[in-house]
Each structure stands twice: as C-alpha cells, then as structure tokens.
Amino acid sequence: METNRRRFFALLVALPLLSFFSAVRHKSPKTLEPTPPCDDHDEPTPPLEEGPFFTPRSPERSNLIEQNMTGSVIILNGRVLDTNCKPVANVLLDWWQADDKGEYDNKGYRLRGHQYTDKLGKFRLETLVPGLYPGRTRHFHVKVQAAGQRPLTTQLFFPNEPHNQHDRIFDPALVMGVQRKGDKQVATYTFVLKA
C-alpha cells in the first residue's frame, strides 16, 4: 500500500516535469529561429564604387580558397532581405577581392566567384581575409543582384580596422560583424534590397 502511494506521488511529480521538458524540446527550435530584425533593416544597403578590378563571368563557387593560397580563413554567413524584411531567394552575389598581399588577379579568377542565396535568402562564403593595398582599408567587393533587377555594387568592411578612418569611401553601414573562432574568423552581414 505504502509503495503504491509513493509511486502515485512520484508520478504526480514526474508528469508535469515530463510535459514541461517535452514542451521545451518542442519549443526550442522555434525560439532559436532568427527573427529578421526589421527595425535594423529598413534602409537599403548603400552602393559603393566598383573600383577598377571587377572581372565579369567569375566561376560559380562558395569557397574561393585554392591550394597554395596563404592567408587567414574567413567564413561569411549572410542573408539578403528586402526592405519589407522578406528573405530574397536566388540573389546573385558576385565577389572579388585582393589576396593577403593586397593584390588582385586581373588575368584569371583567383579570389573571384559568384553564388546564389537559398530559399531563406541565406548564403555562405568561405574565403581569405583580403590584404591591404595603398589608399584602401580592408574590404570585399560584391555585386548583389536579385532576379530581373539591376545589380547593387558595393563593398564590405571589417570592424576595428585602423585603416577604416583613413579610407575616403569607408561606410559604417557596410561593416560586417566579425568574430574569431579558433584559427578562423566568422563574419555576418545582411544585405537589404529595395522591395
């Protein structure tokens, strides 16, 4: 009798706990889903000058690192939203950048490539941190083009870069979030295109 009563009370305690944990388990994917912070993204990403080193028809790839390249790896996890905060799928992102010595490959396609956003407007670029060259702070070049729209030509910058303040075209709206993770840097940026 005593044993039955104990079991009964144990169940009374265990059942709400079980349902609590199961609710947490079911809820957590939802709570972890990133909500587009609309307030921060109601302004379209500003354009910035193209510069002299764009080469059309880059290869399609999301990893620009090739053998025999030196430099520090950076992974850019980005998104493209429109000004209504809706993800934009199938957006072309065409990247070009200097190598770790600050040099562009103007004959071939080293450190050049294009890719497309997925259904959620996301993209992932794996590349090397670009080097500095005279007159410019550290930057990536990119053309961002939604299907049937004109391309947005712009550049992305690094935070806490001493040369940012000396670069005449530096724009704080184009600074990526960058964190160091082990021997890599992980960056984030959200492009906003006019809806």
CB of 86 to Fe ion, least distance (A): 31
Q: Which residues of the shown chain bind Fe ion in the complex (CB under 5 A)?
A: 51
Quick one: 123 or 157, whose CB is closer to Fe ion?
157
Tokens of 49: 């000058």
SS3 state of residue 98: coil
CB of 126 to Fe ion, least distance (A): 19
Quick one: 51 or 87, whose CB is closer to Fe ion?
51
Quick one: 89 or 169, whose CB is closer to Fe ion?
169
Q: How far apart are CA 56 and CA 148, in angstroms?
A: 18
Quick one: 162 or 182, whose CB is closer to Fe ion?
162
3-state helix, strand, coil in the chain (%, to 5): 20, 30, 45
Cα 194 to chain centroid, rounded: 19
Q: Which residue of the chain is nearest Fe ion when measured via CB?
A: 51
CB of 17 to Fe ion, least distance (A): 58
CB of 53 to Fe ion, least distance (A): 6
Burial status of residue 164 (CB atoms within 10 A of its CB: 0-12, 13-18, 19 or more): middle
